[in-house]
A = this chain, B = another copy of it.
Amino acid sequence: MNKVYNDAVASLNGILFNGMTIMAGGFGLCGIPENLIVALRDSGTTNITAISNNAGVDDFGLGLLLQTRQIKKMVSSYVGENKEFERQYLAEELELEFNPQGTLAERIRAGGAGIPGFYTKTGVGTLVAEGKEHKEFDSEVHIMETGLKADVSLVKAWKADTEGNLIFRKTGRNFNPMMATAGKITVAEVEELVEKGELDPDQIHTPGIFIQRIIVSKGLEKRIEQLTTRQKNSEGN
């Protein structure tokens, strides 16, 4: 079973359709599948429901799909970095469902793990709880949240082997591992592809069972959103 595709366009061939639900990994612009997002834009797929913690910036990440109006609805926890997003939302051209970040992460994990619903304290008494089932455990009120799945998940890893075993790097990991489990089909964009047996089996973050297709990134930008530094010999941060 060859899982390795030549490029992002080839890796999305035959699995996209208008009105589909996509998950895209990343936190801000960190750990996003850059090549796959561009290929998704170029595919012209429309009416996408995009599940992603953030919405990219105007000209990068999922922002590219907002520019072209391919996204119908976002399911996110924070979208503060994107002016075009704001414009479309205020003009009611875009639907938006906010989830608390931990609830979003857990809903995606649940979707991949065959858990259709779970209870959490997060959001009790807030707008997030409206319309949701409430239940007491140990005399504390909790709300029920549901699992999330996607037609296709697009994830970004550091290394993969040809089996689709993945290793992530630093905070580039973020939402990618759960999304890999919650896609009916998951495509992984990676910086380095190695042969089977080159990854330590104790150190694999995402087993290959969750990955159907793999590409190696070309021309990764890895843009930094907020470059914060300190001077050598200075104190504090």
Interface residues of A (CB under 8 A from B): 106, 110, 113-121, 135, 137-138, 140, 142, 146, 167-170, 173, 201-203
Contact = CB atoms under 8 A, between A and B. Distances in A.
A116 B116 contact: no
A110 B146 CA distance: 15
Nearest to A116: B137
B168 A202 contact: yes
B202 A170 contact: yes
Given A117-B137, A168-B202, 19 more contacts: A106-B113, A106-B115, A110-B118, A114-B120, A114-B121, A115-B118, A115-B119, A115-B120, A116-B137, A116-B142, A117-B118, A117-B119, A117-B135, A117-B142, A118-B119, A137-B146, A170-B201, A173-B202, A203-B203
* Chain A interface main SS type: mixed
A175 B17 CA distance: 40
This chain: how many copies in the complex? 2
Contacts of A140: 116
A139 to B, nearest CB: 11
A106 B147 CA distance: 15
Contacts of A167: 202
A117 to B, nearest CB: 5
Candidate in A106, A115, A121, A169 with the most chain B CB atoms within 10 angstroms = A115
12 contacts: A106-B113, A114-B120, A114-B121, A116-B119, A116-B140, A117-B119, A117-B137, A117-B142, A167-B202, A168-B202, A169-B202, A173-B202
Contacts of A169: 202
